[in-house]
Amino acid sequence: MPPDRLALVGTGLIGASVGLAAKRIGLREVVGWDADGDSLGLAAERGAVDAAAGSLEEAVEGAELVLVATPVASLQETVRAVLAAGSGPTVSDVGSTKGGLCGSVAERGRFIGGHPVCGSEARGPEHASAELFEGATWFLTPVAETEPERYKLLHGFVASLGAIPVAIDPAAHDRLMAVTSHLPHALANLILNHAGSVRVNGHEPLATAGGSLRDMTRVAGANPRIWIDIFLDNAEELRSSLAEHRRRVEDLERALAAGDAGWLARWIGEAAVNRRTLLDEAYRDVGALQRVRVHVPDRPGVLSGITQALGAEQINIEDFELQHMSPERGGTLSVLVSGEDEARRAAALLEAQGYSVIVSPAFEDE
Amino acid sequence: MPPDRLALVGTGLIGASVGLAAKRIGLREVVGWDADGDSLGLAAERGAVDAAAGSLEEAVEGAELVLVATPVASLQETVRAVLAAGSGPTVSDVGSTKGGLCGSVAERGRFIGGHPVCGSEARGPEHASAELFEGATWFLTPVAETEPERYKLLHGFVASLGAIPVAIDPAAHDRLMAVTSHLPHALANLILNHAGSVRVNGHEPLATAGGSLRDMTRVAGANPRIWIDIFLDNAEELRSSLAEHRRRVEDLERALAAGDAGWLARWIGEAAVNRRTLLDEAYRDVGALQRVRVHVPDRPGVLSGITQALGAEQINIEDFELQHMSPERGGTLSVLVSGEDEARRAAALLEAQGYSVIVSPAFEDE
């Protein structure tokens, strides 16, 4: 049973997306409040909230569930205000770190921390979508004092939005995010600033960089307003991940100094196994995946010609990427299909369109 | 003027691709030799070489240009053998490191190092393509003793294959590759093995990882046979890049320990500028790029419906990515188009197909 009345405190991208998703599943009333009147107005206009409250207290009054979706920096204060405004509702949040917040809350029975893991490159209710949480992990951090009925309500609500609720201890959550999200994000910045600061005989490394640097730094430089708070809020766990990272870098330096090919082989082999584990989540049968590559010109209609041909033959595209090189030179299109037969059929179709096709196993075991 | 007779010593992916590309531009005769008879036979079968020589010496005889395309580990030895086999031809190679090889060659007038920067996830002549070098940087390492006419021949040949020749000092090449390719590649392995080795309260980090870890580790675990040699051959430059990387990690740790938000803001700002520089190479007008995102089910024909609709309206897709989540949950499709008007048209077309669309600037300045 979804709650009858949901209050959203903070109606930016995440808050407004929760509102849209909640209305889509038929939740009766969503009340919103945001310190930024424009954001609140826009959320109402887009139908993410049925009513724009005049104050935080007004929004909370009568709600069964309150979701606090303000920036990490003001979360503690806002959650405290929400808990003070009414003793009835179950309260949760959507912040990217959980330890500090959950530790600071006195009412541990009815506050349960939360964190939907979804793309955050956009901001504001204008980019909100009812489908933002579709298939996303949504961490929940119940503690010993959590009232079971409240956890059940929150768990059911999150699942009804299309997300996959995963219960985790608040401190463990932050440790996990340090390794899987905050460390990679920090390394993207580090490596890009490193490459950007080097001048090699007048050559600008960023101008000659290949695809691997581009892939690895996709998130570099993103959203300082969000990321400064996340880094500082999870500083302790992130520092310990960075220190461990340095130790691992030193191991590699030692192996290189010793010319230890065996160490390198084991290290690359371990990475191959880990990569496979990472991809097993996403694909039916990773081992069967074949990569079909063609070079395409940069003009409208090229992609549709290709996807249409594959679609007409019922070839399912597991993954699809266009690496755009330049307007003059075009780009490389990479399509993943499952099985060698599918790959052969795809290659034949593309060759019939005049493309020169390269097929290879997407992930090789060795 | 292309050379009349080209010899390929090594007919794997790169050698055979050079052969196919050379035949496409009308080069009269390509002679190939490979220690692996199967590889040579397949290259001949695919038309990458006109004649399969019986020995390295036979291949080199009468050639104007010899390209050595054997693995990095045997390059020095093979290049020496090629130079000894005949005093006429200009000799080059396609290895990923240049300092050691170029330093070891006595005949500095007619050997000129080379390195085409192109995807290498596939191996063998069966995956060769005439278009492999289209738009790719092809480093050439002339030295003081290089004979100008020979450099001109090689430069023109590389350009005629569709590549962009870039002259660079051998040592500078290795320093550049350490920062832009070998360090990113090593970090992909390091970070994935780090995440893979951590257990947080029974949670498997690789199972809950988001897209940033997947993006950053795309090259992790790849081609040990190729990468062990590259890492060892460029060990000195890579070690110095790794040491500099550790210093940069320590700077970040200090800023986090001090809670220095100003440092973090400057650091993220610098990364944003560098990211922009990296992307300026690839796109007409990075600032105008808009990201159009939709959630799509996992079944044939979905992509063609979308690309066809965009193509029919002459909306040019600058970049296109399907992040596949799972067979049950589908994936997120991300399309980059240039300009807000194009983005609005694209969004309207997709909304007309029943998708819920999120539009946002692809790269934000701030």
B87 and B205 co-located in one domain:
no
A53 and A158 co-located in one domain:
yes
Extract the tokens encoding B256: 């986090």
Extract the tokens encoding A330: 């075009």
At residue A365 the predicted structure's pLDDT band, cuts being 50, 70 and 90, is: very low
Whole-model pTM: value is 0.84
At residue A137 the predicted structure's pLDDT band, cuts being 50, 70 and 90, is: confident
A123 in helix, strand or coil? coil
A70 and A209 co-located in one domain:
no
At residue B305 the predicted structure's pLDDT band, cuts being 50, 70 and 90, is: confident
B177 and B130 co-located in one domain:
no
Q: Do the Cβ atoms of B45 and B21 come closer than 8 Å?
A: no
What backbone phi and psi angles, to 5 degrees, belong to A232?
A: -70, -40
- For residue A91, which amino acid is it? V
What is the CATH classification number for the domain harbouring A108? 3.40.50.720
Using a CB–CB cutoff of 8 Å, tell me whether B243 touches chain A: yes
Using a CB–CB cutoff of 8 Å, tell me whether B120 touches chain A: no
Q: How many domains is chain B partitioned into structurally?
A: 3
Indicate whether A272 belongs to any domain: no
At residue B339 the predicted structure's pLDDT band, cuts being 50, 70 and 90, is: confident
Inter-chain CB proximity B212 and A179 less than 8 Å: no
> What percentage of chain A reaches a pLDDT higher than 70?
95
Residues B260-296: tens digit of each pLDDT: 999 999 999 999 999 888 887 666 677 788 888 887 8
A123 and A17 co-located in one domain:
yes
Residues B242-264: tens digit of each pLDDT: 999 999 999 999 999 999 999 99
B84 and B148 co-located in one domain:
yes
Residue A284 reports pLDDT greater than 70 = no
The whole domain housing A218 covers 173-259
Last residue of a domain, one of A133, A153, A168: A168
Q: Do the Cβ atoms of A343 and A290 come closer than 8 Å?
A: yes
Q: Which of A206, A234, A237, A342 should one mutate to test binding to chain B, selecting the residue with the greatest count of B CBs within 10 A? A: A206
CB contacts under 8 A, A 157-176 vs B, are: 166, 168-169, 172, 175-176
Using a CB–CB cutoff of 8 Å, tell me whether A366 touches chain B: yes
User: What mean pLDDT is predicted for residues B190-205?
Assistant: 89
Indicate whether B277 belongs to any domain: no
Residue A40 reports pLDDT greater than 90 = yes
Indicate whether B290 belongs to any domain: yes
Last residue of a domain, one of A168, A188, A216: A168
Residues of chain B contacting A209 with CB distance shorter than 8 Å: 180-181, 278
Q: Chain A: nearest CA to B59, how far in angstroms?
A: 27
Indicate whether A271 belongs to any domain: no
B156 and B180 co-located in one domain:
no
Residue A237 reports pLDDT greater than 50 = yes
Indicate whether A107 belongs to any domain: yes
A251 and A232 co-located in one domain:
yes
Q: Residue B365 has what pLDDT?
A: 47
What backbone phi and psi angles, to 5 degrees, belong to A304?
A: -65, -35
User: What mean pLDDT is predicted for residues A270-277?
Assistant: 92
B90 in helix, strand or coil? strand
Using a CB–CB cutoff of 8 Å, tell me whether A226 touches chain B: no
Cα-to-chain-centroid distance, residue B87: 33
Using a CB–CB cutoff of 8 Å, tell me whether B299 touches chain A: yes
Residue B1 reports pLDDT greater than 70 = no
B48-62 in b/e form (b: 16+ CB < 10 A) is bbbebbeebeebbbe
- For residue A227, which amino acid is it? W
B10 and B112 co-located in one domain:
yes
Indicate whether A270 belongs to any domain: no
Extract the tokens encoding A300: 């409208």
Indicate whether B230 belongs to any domain: yes
Q: Residue B279 has what pLDDT?
A: 81
What is the CATH classification number for the domain harbouring A231? 1.10.3660.10
B31 in helix, strand or coil? strand
Extract the tokens encoding A96: 């990217």
A114 and A41 co-located in one domain:
yes
Residue B327 reports pLDDT greater than 80 = no
Residues of chain B contacting A238 with CB distance shorter than 8 Å: 256
Alpha helices in chain A (DSSP H): 13-24, 37-45, 56-60, 75-85, 99-104, 148-160, 170-177, 183-197, 205-208, 211-216, 224-233, 235-257, 261-280, 302-312, 340-352
What is the CATH classification number for the domain harbouring A357? 3.30.70.260
DSSP line for A239-302: HHHHHHHHHHHHHHHHHHHTT-HHHHHHHHHHHHHHHHHHHHTT-S-GGGEEEEEEEE-SSTTH
Q: Do the Cβ atoms of A216 and A191 come closer than 8 Å?
A: yes
How many whole angstroms separate alpha carbon A358 and alpha carbon B200? 41
Indicate whether B267 belongs to any domain: no
Inter-chain CB proximity A179 and B198 less than 8 Å: yes
Last residue of a domain, one of A168, A187, A210: A168
How many residue contacts between A and B have a Cβ separation below 8 Å?
A: 453
A140 and A57 co-located in one domain:
yes
B160 and B184 co-located in one domain:
no
B139-148 in b/e form (b: 16+ CB < 10 A) is bbbbbeebee
Using a CB–CB cutoff of 8 Å, tell me whether B150 touches chain A: no
Residues A317-355: tens digit of each pLDDT: 777 777 666 666 677 788 888 888 888 998 888 888 888
